[in-house]
Amino acid sequence: MLAGVLGIDGTELTDEERDFLRETPPAGVILFARNIADRDQLRRLTDAIRTAASPARPLVFIDQEGGRVMRLRPPVWRSLPAMARIGELCLGNPGAADLAAEAVGRLIGADLAEAGIDVACAPVLDVAAPGLTEAIGSRAFSGDPEVVSRLGRKVADGLLAAGILPVIKHLPGHGRALVDSHMGLPVVEAGRDDLAARDFRPFQALADLPIGMTAHILFRAIDPDRPATLSARVIEDVIRGEIGFAGLLLSDDLGMGALSGGLAGRASDCLAAGCDLALACSGRIEDARVLAQTLPELAGEPLRRYEQALAFRPAAPAAVDVAADEHHLRATHLVA
């Protein structure tokens, strides 16, 4: 398998995509709203991806956090609260917030499992700071790292209980970014001690989880020249070192405006810096072909971490009591 996670174009595989998956299967495929129409169609698509890539078994990823970042949306799928609302609940009723965060994880997990999706790119562990870009905004639980750690763990527990792998993001912390990294490169001026005391703490608390995603952020106090995704100093010294994350490390989308240069160079640079998998979300078959010529086969330590992530899923996921979890979210006024 290629050391990458790639997008596809539409609600059905094209002949070109089917051939690509058969000949050069990636480690993962990521889905977006453009790939989703209804429940039956989505399950056919995930089945088709696996059939085309067989005997390889790429993981199927999706961004499904709750709030505004949900690819499975009403009216076909249920409404779920933004994480900031659960963080607000935690201030007055931490026990109810714990239950709500875990319920959200289980409900997301139940929907993804039904659809044949393996991985939820959640929870967001970024610690909100004043002026935080709306690209994160209500996706962050709180400005208190202890609240972020506590509720992030509960969401991850809920996902895993339903048999879905969580992804902690955005390592080593996106909460101070004042610029949307989809559009440009955020630069964080905070000192290393301040970052360690606040931004890194939720990632340290959840460093045992199986998959993480990097941030396209330039931390001037750590590496003044390269954003985290492309920085061996950030990945080796901070993410793998100080934070202690030993799981499978996925770049954020290489198509975002925070990064410069061509796609092939970005992919090569992120792997050289220490990412295990390069994420390219465009869905263009031309981009997939570029990456097929650029990315290595998944091997060595990245392959070990990939297999370690697969083993993290419970052998027999628990049945989700959807009615009870939905009732708790309504009772705490997190959903109507």
Which of 9, 182, 237, 321 is catalytic? The answer is: 182
Q: Is residue 215 within 8 Å of residue 178, measured between CB atoms?
A: no
Output the six-digit token pair for 81: 């609260």
Which of 63, 98, 252, 325 is catalytic? The answer is: 252
Q: Is residue 142 within 8 Å of residue 128, measured between CB atoms?
A: yes
Q: Distance of CA 103 to CAs 146, 175, 331, Å?
A: 19, 24, 12
Structural element, H or E, at residue 283: none
Cis peptide before 81, with omega less than 30 degrees from 0? no
Residue 51's φ and ψ, nearest 5 degrees, are: -65, -45
* Complete DSSP assignment for 222-247: T-SSS-GGG-HIIIIIIIIIIS---S
| Rounded CA Rg of the chain | 19
Is 216 among the residues known to form the active site? no
Is 15 among the residues known to form the active site? no
Determine the 3-state secondary structure of 188 from DSSP.
strand
Q: Is residue 161 within 8 Å of residue 108, measured between CB atoms?
A: no
Active-site residues, by number, are: 182, 252
